[in-house]
């Protein structure tokens, strides 16, 4: 497989697989009993605070902790558009990120309420996520299949932690045929939250964007994508029925199992512009196949 030249793609943020601290060489043996040094990804706890309140501990590879915290809080509906973030402080030693806002947010109230009503409110966090969806109005973005093939090819040839060490997920914010921000993490929800954090920090709209993920198209991924205002979600991997159902409800275009010239669209097919010349698209050669479609 030929790796892409990054200068051809113009990433705003690209993976940095050689960055210190993201992988570690571990000594082991292979099937022949030979000693081998294997490059494996790191995985560290990061505890996210909103103002004075501890929200969650995420297991993460450790890059972009501030963006992960911002994106997580955004996607949980704990940071609204009109809120002012006064500081985001990462403490490497304590493994914490503290996000401070200029007001006490609704969500802190909600957490309090949840604590008090615990035992009768079923699935509060999940309920909250579905709640936010009712206000989402996604643009009716037309998506060219030629762009999807171009994205898929560029992303799969981009040097990444995945190609370096495996066992990791990628999520890429894209516009037309250009991948813009490519985040990786041990959990696919973290990778997408880091993208959301970048969009929040830079004030970037999701209206003309497409989100590409290496992971499965589950309800969680579809909900996050919709909350980010992005109306098209693409993956090499498969679907869950509920993911498809939510995508149909909110008007999100859902393309999965995209490998080589193959794909399936299970929501929003009417917004696809089928302009690709399939004869010009290579089938995915098994040798260069990315390893994962599961996940």
| Beta carbons of 193 and 211 less than 8 angstroms apart | no
**What token pair was written down for 1?**
């497989």
Q: Encoding tokens for residue 102?
A: 């200029």
Short-list 14, 8, 61, 30, CA closest to 181: 14
| Least distance CB 65 / a copy of itself (angstroms) | 14
Residue with Cβ nearer a copy of itself (209 or 216): 216
| Distance between first and last Cα of the chain | 23
Contact at 8 Å (CB) between 69 and 197? yes
For a copy of itself, give the closer residue by CB, 12 or 28.
28
Least CB distance to a copy of itself at residue 23 (A)? 8
Residue 44 vs 208, nearer CB to a copy of itself: 44
Closest CB 193 distance from a copy of itself, rounded Å:
17
Which lies closer to a copy of itself via its Cβ, residue 44 or residue 229? 44
In the complex with a copy of itself, the residue whose CB is nearer, 20 or 120, is: 120
- Could you tell me the smallest distance in angstroms from the CB atom of residue 204 to a copy of itself? 27
- Classify 49 in phi/psi space as left (phi over 0), alpha (psi -120 to 50) or beta: beta
Residue 172: both structure tokens together: 């890429």
CA angle centred on 68, ends 162 and 291, rounded to 5°:
15
Residue 111 CB neighbours (<10 A): 18
Closest to a copy of itself by CB, 53 vs 157, is 53
Alpha-carbon distance of 263 to 121, in angstroms, equals 40
Shortest separation between residue 202's beta carbon and a copy of itself, angstroms: 29
Find the shortest distance in angstroms from Cβ 82 to a copy of itself.
25
Cβ-based neighbour number of residue 224 at 10 Å: 27
Of the candidates 44, 59, 49, the residue with the CA atom closest to the CA atom of residue 89: 49
DSSP state of 279: G
The neighbour count for residue 141, using CB atoms within 10 Å, is: 18
- Of 193 and 220, which CB lies nearer to a copy of itself in the complex structure? 220
The least distance separating a copy of itself from the CB of residue 127, rounded to whole angstroms, comes to 9
């Amino acid at each position: 497989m030929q790796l892409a030249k990054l200068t051809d793609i113009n990433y705003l943020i690209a993976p940095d697989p050689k960055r210190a601290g993201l992988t570690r060489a571990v000594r082991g043996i292979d099937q022949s009993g030979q000693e081998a040094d294997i490059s494996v990804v790191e995985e560290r706890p990061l505890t996210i605070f909103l103002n004075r309140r501890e929200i969650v501990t995420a297991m993460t590879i450790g890059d972009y902790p501030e963006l992960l915290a911002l994106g997580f809080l955004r996607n949980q509906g704990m940071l609204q558009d009109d809120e002012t973030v006064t500081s985001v402080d990462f403490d490497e030693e304590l493994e914490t990120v503290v996000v401070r806002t200029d007001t006490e947010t609704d969500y802190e109230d909600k957490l309090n309420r949840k604590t008090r009503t615990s035992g009768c409110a079923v699935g509060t966090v999940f309920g909250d996520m579905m709640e936010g969806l009712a206000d989402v109005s996604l643009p009716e973005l037309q998506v060219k299949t030629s762009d999807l093939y171009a994205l898929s090819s560029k992303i799969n040839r981009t040097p990444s932690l995945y190609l370096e060490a495996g066992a990791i997920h990628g999520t890429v914010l894209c516009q037309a045929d250009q991948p813009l921000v490519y985040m990786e993490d041990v959990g696919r929800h973290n990778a997408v939250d880091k993208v959301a954090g970048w969009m929040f920090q830079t004030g970037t709209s999701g209206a003309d964007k497409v989100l590409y993920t290496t992971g499965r198209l589950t309800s969680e991924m579809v909900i996050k994508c919709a909350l980010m205002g992005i109306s098209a979600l693409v993956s090499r991997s498969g679907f869950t029925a509920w993911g498809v159902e939510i995508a149909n409800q909110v008007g999100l275009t859902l393309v999965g199992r995209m490998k080589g010239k193959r794909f399936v669209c299970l929501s929003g097919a009417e917004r696809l512009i089928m302009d690709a010349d399939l004869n010009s698209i290579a089938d995915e050669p098994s040798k260069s196949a990315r390893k994962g479609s599961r996940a």
